[in-house]
Amino acid sequence: MPTLLIARLVILEAVRRRLALAAAGLTLAGIGLTGWAFVKLAEQFGRSSLQLAGAVSGIVILMAFMFVTVLALGAALIGATALGTELENGTLLSIIPRPLYRIELLAGKWLGAFGVVAIYGTCAIGLEAVIVRITTGYVAPQPLFSLAFFLAIVALVVTCAMTLSVRLAPLTAAIVTVVFYGAAWIDGIAHLISSSLGNDGVAQGTLAAGLLFPSDGLWRGALFGLEPVAMRAAGVNGAGSAGPFAVLGPPPEAFLAWCVVWVLLVAWAGVASFRTRDV
């Protein structure tokens, strides 16, 4: 099946070009350092203390935020270059005339790019969760729930970057996607602030703007799975709203449905654009 052949090639490229090796080395170093820090914290507070659980849960959320940013950057770069570089350098000239539809080619590239980031993300998150569990005994309330949202962010970013790379240079496509991602996060904070200030106009505007690139809403879904149950029950800051690193509940189903529609719409735009593109 052409799609799987192409996806396999994208993953193989990440391995052969030592991207996987570099990512694995850096991640292991990071996990080693955080593991050492968690051991020290456990020694300081005692393994079963509430203080340790509170500190570790906060650190895990902060690390998750940093890591999802790394994943999003990686997804933007890999998503933009998987197709865009081969369009630009002419490698696709010998592939497109083969008996495959362009949608199969695009799907293969998407699957490969998503696969590279998703496999890396899942392994890194899984390993870090194991280290946290071993060193401190702490387990986030719904780690798989959070992982699903992390992967949803990856899917969103890869789809955007790849669609843009059909018509833009790979670097441009990656940068534009990263800007969208950053703007969405800032928009999310603006929404929280305007909501807490009771400014309905700005709150509604930022809510709508957040739907244009719904990565921040997905981050908040991931956050919900990492947030200690006690923190949720306390209503976070007691004012019925949360900060950038806390949420009151999971994202509404309508929002999740919109995310699915968003990915499908952007992917469709990419396919339509690629189908008519002269190579």
Partner 1 sequence: MNEAERRPAIETRDVAKKYGTVLALRDLSLTVERGEIFGFLGPNGAGKTTSVKILLGLTHATSGYGAILGQPLGAIEARRRIGYLPELFRYQDWLTAPEVLAFHAGLLGMPGRLQKGEIARVLEVVGLAGRERAKVGTFSKGMQQRLGLGVALIGDPELLILDEPTSALDPVGRADVRAIVCAARDRGATVFLNSHLLSEVEAVCDRLAILDKGRIVASGTMAEILGAFEVRITFAQVPVDGALDALVRYAAEAEGPRTFVLRSIAEADVPDLVARLVRCGARVAAVEPVRGSLEERFLNLIGAGDADAADR
Interface residues with partner 1 (CB under 8 A) are 2, 5, 9, 12-13, 16-17, 89-91, 93-101, 276, 278-279
Smallest gap from residue 221 Cβ to partner 1 (A): 37
Smallest gap from residue 86 Cβ to partner 1 (A): 8
Smallest gap from residue 241 Cβ to partner 1 (A): 50
Choice between 99 and 198, CB closer to partner 1: 99
What is the spatial distance between Cα 253 and Cα 239, in angstroms, rounded to a whole number? 24
Choice between 15 and 230, CB closer to partner 1: 15
Smallest gap from residue 176 Cβ to partner 1 (A): 24
What is the spatial distance between Cα 260 and Cα 139, in angstroms, rounded to a whole number? 29
Runs of H (alpha helix) within the chain: 2-16, 19-45, 50-89, 102-136, 143-165, 170-196, 200-212, 215-226, 229-233, 253-275
Smallest gap from residue 175 Cβ to partner 1 (A): 24
* Contact between 162 and 195 (Cβ < 8 Å): no
Choice between 95 and 269, CB closer to partner 1: 95
What is the spatial distance between Cα 279 and Cα 274, in angstroms, rounded to a whole number? 9
Runs of H (alpha helix) within 17-49: 19-45
Choice between 14 and 41, CB closer to partner 1: 14
Choice between 99 and 201, CB closer to partner 1: 99
What is the spatial distance between Cα 188 and Cα 240, in angstroms, rounded to a whole number? 16
> Could you give the 3-state DSSP secondary structure of residue 214?
coil
Smallest gap from residue 108 Cβ to partner 1 (A): 10
* Contact between 220 and 244 (Cβ < 8 Å): no
Q: What radius of gyration, in Å, describes the C-alpha atoms of the chain? A: 20
Closest alpha carbon to 207 in 220, 222, 225 = 220
Choice between 107 and 247, CB closer to partner 1: 107
